[in-house]
């Protein structure tokens, strides 16, 4: 195994962090010494997270839009400059390979963000015959998330060169703005279920941008709070909630990101149209009973009969023990009682609930 890659912010975070972990070849901050305060910042104030390891790809060329549309199920051809679209990346059978966002700078220039860093061959195979160049740019484009209900006020106070209030949910400024004297690309996106923004920048500007955001009042946070935050809001991660080429978007609650009626064609569209008519599984939250937390991948049963799988467990500071789960459609109604396996062979009780138990209508990030 090679040496873990440090982000452009490491010179700063290494002086503040309580610890680091290695994941997918990068060093991630675990926390900054007070996990409860970090969680409260995201849910009640404003936090900042070094998400530079987010895998980023650049699509350039006359067929850049068509190339992205081939692999992504959302309406990529229908995007305008400055729009961001989220959804799954699929294979020829309509099975999910990854999930992530597409940023349109222009018809010939896109950023594509994925969970996995090993998508080069997948992209190349899917876009054969098209005029597009695809490059992995994560090391050259570090990113910083600013998340929380007070994030707009903070971002407004540090950005010059554009009106932050003009930035709508899932849009970005294609031209750089200025933060801490440095050029950055600003988007209204994030991974928290809250009002939030992301800054994309060049590595040489990392120190200036971090200082500007922290000095404005943001609380740095690490990955220790990410599991409860994402489980509360029903957000998925590759290799935790699904393995590539194993699940359809409908198994993972991504129905609204599959643009079956849009003009663009993507791989597996006909197969997914058939699945959409009668999805066999649904993605839900299970409210767990008791203090013991099941493992990732724990079996979900009803009356001793297998009903699904718990993909991601977490203990929410607000809502207690929860788990994301894929269960059969016929048992997926909220209020249904289930059992979930524990490592020692016993089970605990649980109750099925809606997918995003925290702000299910997404009013907070749209605020």
Predicted confidence (pLDDT) per residue in 212-222, tens digit: 999 999 999 99
Q: What integer pLDDT is reported at residue 291 of this predicted model? A: 83
Q: What integer pLDDT is reported at residue 290 of this predicted model? A: 86
- CATH architecture for the domain at 280-367: Beta Barrel (2.40)
Q: Is the pLDDT of residue 103 over 80?
A: yes
Predicted confidence (pLDDT) per residue in 260-283, tens digit: 999 999 999 999 999 999 999 999
In percent, how much of the chain has pLDDT > 70? 99
Predicted confidence (pLDDT) per residue in 190-199, tens digit: 999 999 999 9
Q: Is the pLDDT of residue 46 over 50?
A: yes
The pTM of this model reads: 0.97
- Topology (CATH) of 10-52+142-229: Gyrase A; domain 2 (3.30.1360)
Q: Which two tokens stand for residue 253?
A: 């609650």
- By the 10 Å C-beta count (0-12 exposed, 13-18 middle, 19+ buried), 94 is classed as buried
In percent, how much of the chain has pLDDT > 90? 98
Q: What integer pLDDT is reported at residue 3 of this predicted model? A: 82
- By the 10 Å C-beta count (0-12 exposed, 13-18 middle, 19+ buried), 112 is classed as buried
What are the φ and ψ backbone dihedral angles of 320, each rounded to 5 degrees? 80, -165
84-105: average pLDDT:
98
Q: What residue ranges do the domains of the chain occupy? A: 10-52+142-229, 280-367
- Three-state DSSP state, 35: helix
Q: What integer pLDDT is reported at residue 1 of this predicted model? A: 45
Q: What integer pLDDT is reported at residue 26 of this predicted model? A: 96
37-57: average pLDDT:
98
Q: Is the pLDDT of residue 2 over 70?
A: no
Predicted confidence (pLDDT) per residue in 106-149, tens digit: 999 999 999 999 999 999 999 999 999 999 999 999 999 999 99
Distance from C-alpha of 106 to C-alpha of 150, rounded to nearest angstrom: 31
With cut-offs at 50, 70 and 90, classify the pLDDT of residue 62: very high
Nearest to 86 by CA among 241, 335, 282, 258: 258
User: Which residues 6+ apart lie within 8 Å of 141 measured at CB?
Assistant: 56, 111, 200, 201, 202
| Total length of the chain | 367
Q: What integer pLDDT is reported at residue 84 of this predicted model? A: 98
- Three-state DSSP state, 224: helix
Predicted confidence (pLDDT) per residue in 277-334, tens digit: 999 999 999 999 988 899 999 999 999 999 999 999 999 999 999 999 999 999 999 9
């Amino acid at each position: 195994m090679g040496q873990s890659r440090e982000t452009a912010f490491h010179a700063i975070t290494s002086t503040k962090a309580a610890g680091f972990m290695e994941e997918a070849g990068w060093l991630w901050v675990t926390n900054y010494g007070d996990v409860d305060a970090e969680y409260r910042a995201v849910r009640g104030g404003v936090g900042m997270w070094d998400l530079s390891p987010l895998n980023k790809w650049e699509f350039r060329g006359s067929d850049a839009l068509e190339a992205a549309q081939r692999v992504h199920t959302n309406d990529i051809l229908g995007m305008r400059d400055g729009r961001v679209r989220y959804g799954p990346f699929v294979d020829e059978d309509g099975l999910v390979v990854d999930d992530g966002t597409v940023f349109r700078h222009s018809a010939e220039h896109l950023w594509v963000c994925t969970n996995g860093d090993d998508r080069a061959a997948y992209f190349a195979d899917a876009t054969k015959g098209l005029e597009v160049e695809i490059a992995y740019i994560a090391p050259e484009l570090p990113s910083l998330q600013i998340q929380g209900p007070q994030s707009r006020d903070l971002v407004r106070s540090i950005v010059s060169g554009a009106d932050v209030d003009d930035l709508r949910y899932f849009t970005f400024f294609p031209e750089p703005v200025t933060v801490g004297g440095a050029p950055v690309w600003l988007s209204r996106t994030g991974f928290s279920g809250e009002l939030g923004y992301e800054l994309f920048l060049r590595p040489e500007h990392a120190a200036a941008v971090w200082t500007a955001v922290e000095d404005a009042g943001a609380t740095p946070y690490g990955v220790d709070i990410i599991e409860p935050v994402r489980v509360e809001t029903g957000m998925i991660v590759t290799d935790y909630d699904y393995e590539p080429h194993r699940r359809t978007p409908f198994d993972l609650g991504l129905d609204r990101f599959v643009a079956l009626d849009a003009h663009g064609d993507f791989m597996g569209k006909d197969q997914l149209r058939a699945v959409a008519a009668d999805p066999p599984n649904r993605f839900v939250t299970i409210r767990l009973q008791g203090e013991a937390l099941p493992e990732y991948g724990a079996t979900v049963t009803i009356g001793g009969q297998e009903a699904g799988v718990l993909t991601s467990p977490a203990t929410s500071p607000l809502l207690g023990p929860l788990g994301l789960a894929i269960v059969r459609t016929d048992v997926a109604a909220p209020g249904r009682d289930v059992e979930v396996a524990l490592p020692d062979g016993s089970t605990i009780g649980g109750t099925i609930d809606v997918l995003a138990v925290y702000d299910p209508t997404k009013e907070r990030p749209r605020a």
